[in-house]
Amino acid sequence: YVEKEIATIQAGAGIVYNSKPEDEVNESLNKAQAVINAIKNAHY
């Protein structure tokens, strides 16, 4: 959400037995970037 020009976002990944840490980090970053882009495009 955005309040007083500060955006708060959360993103995560599901960790399972054969998860690769670097893949999970990249998944979380990609999810977060999608939200960041949406906020930027909304002209906040």
pLDDT in tens, 1-44: 788 989 899 998 888 999 999 999 999 999 999 999 998 898 75
pLDDT at position 43 is 73
Structure tokens at 10: 């959360």
What pTM did the predictor assign? Answer: 0.70
